[in-house]
Amino acid sequence: MKQRILIVNKFYYPRGGDCVCALNLESLLREEGFDVAMYAMKHHENLHSQYSNYFAEEVSFSGSVGQKLEAAKRTLGVGDIVDSIDKILYDFHPDIVHLHNIHSYISPIIGQLAKNFGCKVVWTLHDYKLLCPAYTCLRNGQPCELCFHDKLNVLTKQCMKGSLFGSALAYVEAKKWSRKRLESFTDAFICPSQFMADKMAQGGFDKAKLKVVCNSLDSAKANRLQSLKHESVEDYIVYVGRISAEKGIESLLKAAAQLPYKLQVVGDGPLLKQLKATYEKYSNINFLGKLDAVQVCDVQSNAHLSVIPSECYENNPLSLIESLCAGTPVIGAGIGGIPELIDDSNGRVYAWGEIDALKDAIVAEMSITRDNVEIKRNAMKRFSPQEYIHKTISVYDD
């Protein structure tokens, strides 16, 4: 009898990397013959699902006081969320519950209820929320690990966007969902990078429960990139990602403004409007905004070089994986899990946050010609959907 897998993510549409990974997993598991159900929060952008009637009611942290209180209850696993989870557990009766990004809009209560129901619980970690209540391991633009062993710091330093209420809620949430409690119902934590696994161990998590499984291309992008021959490389640099401070986009723009190469910036985010206004006078810098998956593949495939200039603890960035699978070499900041993906054959790593080091790396990379076909061949094998799903299933069977 085939196993029944319940995949849980707070949204059921390609909102971000976590959602893309959850959707990709759903598709791959079905191809492997598993019986798969999805559970998420109701949202007007969600894709169609036969299980949408089970989804948790939508909550928001940006509405009225009453709406914020309902959202706060959700983070603690209190209210209608319990009945909602119980219903899909009893009706679908999963063998394995695979959690993805569940904080705030779903709540870790689902892992506890699933364990009580007799399920094996696996949790793929897409950020550092279990170590840092503010998610990012950043404070004043610098890496911060104070909360790894004392969560009170998120409150005293008001790390949640400078908000006392938000920081207090994050602290209460972290205390309720302590490491000991999370480990009691989670059989395995899947870390997409060794860096994340090391940080989880540093934060006291049981090393035996930490499994490293790198992210992969989703099947649609794999097929698209496979069809592109990388025959018309152009002399431009591409950045694909969120337009926000922690992604290092400002450092990249400062470097590009001092160089003669064209930079194509793909993505959306809180700094987009501001940075477009600041750099509109530079004819070599072009903001393309948010593109669909096919357009992103095409832009990456035709680029001479991709840059991942992050200034935070990146986990296992999909944009880097996609660039390599397009056959495009990558310059990456030497922080987080980025260096694990880059070697002398497919790009170079520079000292993160140092604009001169980034400029030097760009100049050096733009002056050479790499074997794009070989980069693509190696990446397609390393990050293939088949490699990813087989490693994931091995975690289920462990």
- How many Å apart are CA 49 and CA 223, to the nearest integer? 24
Q: Is 257 exposed, middle or buried (0-12, 13-18, 19+ CB in 10 A)?
A: middle
- How many Å apart are CA 264 and CA 347, to the nearest integer? 18
The residue written with tokens 């059989």 in the block is 187
Q: At what angle do helices 293-302 and 219-227 cross, to 10 degrees?
A: 40
Q: What is the pTM assigned to this prediction?
A: 0.93
- How many Å apart are CA 343 and CA 374, to the nearest integer? 13
Contact (Cβ atoms closer than 8 angstroms) between residue 130 and residue 182 = yes
Q: How many CA atoms lie within 13 A of 269 on its CB side?
A: 18
CA quadruple 200, 202, 205, 210: dihedral positive or negative?
positive
**pLDDT attached to residue 221:** 81
- How many Å apart are CA 311 and CA 319, to the nearest integer? 15
Instruction: Domain 4-216+384-397: state its class.
Output: alpha beta
Count of beta carbons in the 10 Å neighbourhood of residue 122: 24
**Alpha-carbon 133 to chain mean position:** 16
Going by their DSSP bridges, the two strands 262-266 and 285-289 should be labelled as: parallel
- How many Å apart are CA 239 and CA 254, to the nearest integer? 13
- How many Å apart are CA 398 and CA 396, to the nearest integer? 6
- Can you give the pLDDT of all 398 residues of the chain as single tens digits? 579 999 999 999 998 889 999 999 999 999 999 999 999 999 999 999 999 999 999 998 887 888 888 888 999 999 899 999 999 999 999 999 999 999 989 999 999 999 999 999 999 999 999 999 999 999 988 999 999 999 999 999 999 888 898 899 999 999 999 999 999 999 999 999 999 999 999 999 999 999 999 999 887 787 888 777 766 567 899 999 999 999 999 999 999 999 999 999 999 999 999 999 999 999 999 999 999 888 998 999 999 999 999 999 999 999 999 999 999 999 999 999 999 999 999 999 999 999 999 999 999 999 999 999 999 999 999 999 999 999 999 999 98
Fold of 219-382: Rossmann fold (3.40.50)
> What is the four-CA torsion angle of 140, 144, 146, 152, rounded to 10 degrees?
50
What are the residue boundaries of the structural domains of the chain, listed by start?
4-216+384-397, 219-382
Contact (Cβ atoms closer than 8 angstroms) between residue 8 and residue 99 = yes
First to last CA, the chain: 18
**pLDDT attached to residue 233:** 67
Fold identical between 4-216+384-397 and 219-382? yes
